[in-house]
Amino acid sequence: MVMNDLFNENDAVLSVDPSNRLYFSGVETSFGIVLLTAETKYFLTDFRYASAIKRKLKDFEIIITEKERVYADVDDILDSCSVKTVGYEDEYWSVSSFKTLKKELKKYELKPISAEIRAMRAIKTPEEIEKMRAAQALTETALDKVLSKLKVGVRERDIAAELSYQFISLGADREAFESIVAFGENSADCHHIAGDRKLCKNEIVLFDIGAKLNGYCSDMTRTFFFGEASQRFAELHNIVTKAQLYVLKHIKAGITGAEADMMAREFIKANGYEKEFGHSLGHSLGIDIHEGPSCSKNNTAPLPENAVVTIEPGVYISDYGGVRMEDMVVIKKGGIENLTKYRKTYII
Ligand code: GLY
Ligand code: MN
């Protein structure tokens, strides 16, 4: 899918979704519209962003407007270009706001194009991959700095706050998602919210963390043991690591998301933990932390070359704890490029 496909049946593309706007323009604003016509790219926003947008967007025509009259401005542009059909993001609009949009742009035929944009965004360009590589490298540096703060009595929230500090201090835009820092039995909650739980000697410490840098996300999970690892933990860690390594070795373009998921699932099942691996193997990411295509049983489509996906098998045992291991990889014809360089050992 390339940009031209978006114009096949549309004279113009109207992008309002913040992630898509960032994809098309490279800039983030809380309010704005990207309007693409065959000849010109327009960015409409308000006074708050005027000088920053003019500085950053050299290849766009910038229109400074207000919420109340932005669609009148869009209409003027479309009119002046003799536009008949406008591609719009059908997966973004709420029912009520779409009614308003239809009224505002009643002169034009509106065509849904969310699926086409999703397909474009699924295949990353070398520049996008470079941004994700940098976001991941930053995440790894942050984790190393934070590991040294682990000591008996420290709370999960203290460590999560330290991660936020490190991300920003190292140059990130922000966290890609709320950092998951889970001690002991809390690590069995896949999406645990870091709380007041204090770290004790000889227990699990799970980090699921990512930074957003230059608009692009990273995502990594590592599970450590604070103290002398028990045999039970070592065994779980070994199974999850081997399941992940097996997928990393065999996944490549053309394999379906469901097949990739099954590779890890079969391995974990053979080791007796089928029911304890209750989520999908992975997801794509980019501007958003969760994008398509996924590595899940629901995705029976072949993974395309240059999709960036996570490979994150896990085993979770209530009242004991969980182990997850997550890398972020670029899908290639003959295999993968792993953007995650962080060690897979559990010793802190
Ligand atoms: N790392 C968070 C998630 O994948 O949902
Ligand atoms: Mn993930």
Domains of the chain: 3-122 (3.40.350.10), 126-338 (3.90.230.10)
Q: What pLDDT is recorded for position 6?
A: 78
The label of the residue with tokens 């990889």 reads 329
User: If you measure from the C-alpha of residue 45 to the centroid of ligand 2, how many angstroms do you get, rounded to a whole number?
Assistant: 33
pLDDT at 125 over 70: yes
CA angle 210, 215, 220 (to 5 degrees): 15
Strands (E), 46-99: 61-64, 85-88
**How sure is the predictor about 207, in pLDDT bands with cuts at 50, 70 and 90?**
very high
**Ligand 1 pocket mutation, candidates 187, 289, 309, criterion most atoms within 8 A of CB:** 289
The dihedrals phi and psi of 64, each to the nearest 5 degrees, come to -90, 125
Please compute the mean of the pLDDT values over residues 90-95 and round it to a whole number: 96
Would you say the CB of residue 177 lies under 6 angstroms from ligand 1? Answer: yes
Please compute the mean of the pLDDT values over residues 176-195 and round it to a whole number: 98
User: If you measure from the C-alpha of residue 252 to the centroid of ligand 1, how many angstroms do you get, rounded to a whole number?
Assistant: 22
How many percent of the chain have pLDDT more than 90?
A: 96
Neighbours of ion ligand 2 (CB under 5 A): 219, 310
Cα-Cα-Cα-Cα dihedral sign, residues 286, 288, 293, 295: positive
Would you say the CB of residue 208 lies under 6 angstroms from ligand 1? Answer: yes
The ligand 1 atom at the shortest distance from the C-alpha of residue 282 is 4
Q: Are strands 211-213 and 174-175 parallel, antiparallel or unpaired?
A: antiparallel
Which tokens go with 304? 């395309």
Q: What pLDDT is recorded for position 7?
A: 74
pLDDT at 123 over 60: yes
pLDDT at 242 over 70: yes
Q: How far is CA 277 from CA 146, 190, 226, in A?
A: 28, 10, 23
Would you say the CB of residue 207 lies under 6 angstroms from ligand 1? Answer: no
Q: How far is CA 65 from CA 19, 37, 137, 143, 244, in A?
A: 21, 19, 39, 43, 50
Would you say the CB of residue 140 lies under 6 angstroms from ligand 1? Answer: no
> Average pLDDT, whole number, for the chain?
96
Would you say the CB of residue 219 lies under 6 angstroms from ligand 1? Answer: yes
Would you say the CB of residue 175 lies under 6 angstroms from ligand 1? Answer: no
pLDDT digits (tens, 9 = 90+) for 303-319: 999 999 999 999 999 99
With H, G, I as helix, E, B as strand and everything else as coil, classify residue 310: strand
Please compute the mean of the pLDDT values over residues 41-70 and round it to a whole number: 96
**How sure is the predictor about 44, in pLDDT bands with cuts at 50, 70 and 90?**
very high
Which string of b and e fits 103-136 if b means at least 16 CB within 10 Å?
A: eebeebebbebbebbbebbbbbeeebbebbbbbb
pTM of structure:
0.95
